[in-house]
Amino acid sequence: MDLFSQLNDPTENLLPYQGMVNYYGSIMDHKLADQYFQILMDSIAWQNDQAIIFGKLITTKREVAWYGDRNFPYSYSNTTKTALPWTKELLELKTLVESTSGESFNSCLLNLYHDGSQSMAWHSDAEKDLKKNGAIASLSFGANRKFAFKHKATKEKRALYLPSGSLLIMKGETQQHWLHRLPPTKKVQTPRINLTFRTIDSSKS
Ligand SMILES: O=C(O)CCC(=O)C(=O)O
Ligand SMILES: [Fe+2]
């Protein structure tokens, strides 16, 4: 395999304009990423997500969990959750992500996709409780899945794969101007866990 294809430059902006996305590649070795995957599978309070879509309450197969520094309430898709206190491993991962990226976070939304049929539709993470233009750190474990961006006005797209142990940072105006999604795929039969570290601005609520 070409050695250079494994290298990446975290200072390179993957977006052409109106936002900043930096990809750090894998920030831990495979063995450690596997260990975290298993610990997160077993220790997180996973719950099927609920959303109100066209006025109907639906329960998704994807599972979610919400952790933070304090019992922050967090609202999205017409549902509100209260953050659970950090587990030991989530705090370790938060520290690793913070020291790698130079950003800081006070909460984390976790998603568990059991296989490639489970996905997340186009959206941006600009809920009113989040710090405006705050960085969002996405740390992935398990199955290698594609992640895509689409500009809200020009519809221009960008995509990359997020393998186990990899870190992606979205910051600046990204959430104002770009949507992102995790597309469904028939090629993946194994689970993936994604952690998005965020900053809740509690002065707003
Ligand atoms: O699973 C992912 O990589 C994306 C998750 C996401 O966009 C979100 O939780 O807001
Ligand atoms: Fe998101």
Q: Note whether ipTM > 0.90 here.
A: yes
Q: What is the pLDDT of residues 154-196, one digit of tens each?
A: 999 999 999 999 999 999 999 999 999 999 999 999 999 999 9
Contact 197, 139 (CB under 8 A): yes
Q: Would you say the CB of residue 125 lies under 6 angstroms from ligand 1? A: yes
For residue 130, being part of any structural domain is answered with: yes
Residue 1 has pLDDT above 50, yes or no: no
Contact 116, 204 (CB under 8 A): no
φ, ψ dihedrals at 140, nearest 5°: -115, 145
Residue 4 has pLDDT above 60, yes or no: no
For residue 138, being part of any structural domain is answered with: yes
Residue 5 has pLDDT above 50, yes or no: no
For residue 4, being part of any structural domain is answered with: no
Write down the pLDDT at residue 76.
67
- How many domains does one find in the chain? 1
Domain that holds residue 200: 11-44+57-204
Q: Report the alpha-carbon distance of residue 81 to residue 58 in Å, rounded.
A: 16
For residue 84, being part of any structural domain is answered with: yes
Contact 122, 90 (CB under 8 A): no
Residues at Cβ < 5 Å from ligand 2 ion: 125
* Selected residue with higher pLDDT from 191 and 56: 191
Residue 18 has pLDDT above 70, yes or no: yes
For residue 20, being part of any structural domain is answered with: yes
Q: Would you say the CB of residue 170 lies under 6 angstroms from ligand 1? A: no
Write down the pLDDT at residue 205.
56
Percent of the chain with pLDDT over 90: 79
For residue 5, being part of any structural domain is answered with: no
Structure tokens belonging to residue 175 = 């959430």
Write down the pLDDT at residue 57.
86
Tell me the CA–centroid distance for residue 6 and ligand 1, in Å.
23
151: which residues sit within 8 A by CB, 6+ positions away? Answer: 18, 157, 177, 178, 179
CATH number for the domain spanning 116: value is 2.60.120.590
Q: Considering the chain, what is the average pLDDT of its residues? A: 93
Q: Is 160 exposed, middle or buried (0-12, 13-18, 19+ CB in 10 A)?
A: middle
Q: What is the pLDDT of residues 101-117, one digit of tens each?
A: 999 999 999 999 999 99
Helix (H) or strand (E) holding 43: helix 30-43
Return the ligand number nearest the Cα of 182: 1
Contact 137, 22 (CB under 8 A): no
For residue 119, being part of any structural domain is answered with: yes
Q: Would you say the CB of residue 147 lies under 6 angstroms from ligand 1? A: yes
User: pLDDT band at residue 54, thresholds of 50, 70 and 90?
Assistant: confident
3-class DSSP assignment, residue 163: coil
For residue 6, being part of any structural domain is answered with: no
Cα-only R_g, the chain? 16
Contact 195, 110 (CB under 8 A): yes
Tell me the CA–centroid distance for residue 200 and ligand 1, in Å.
16
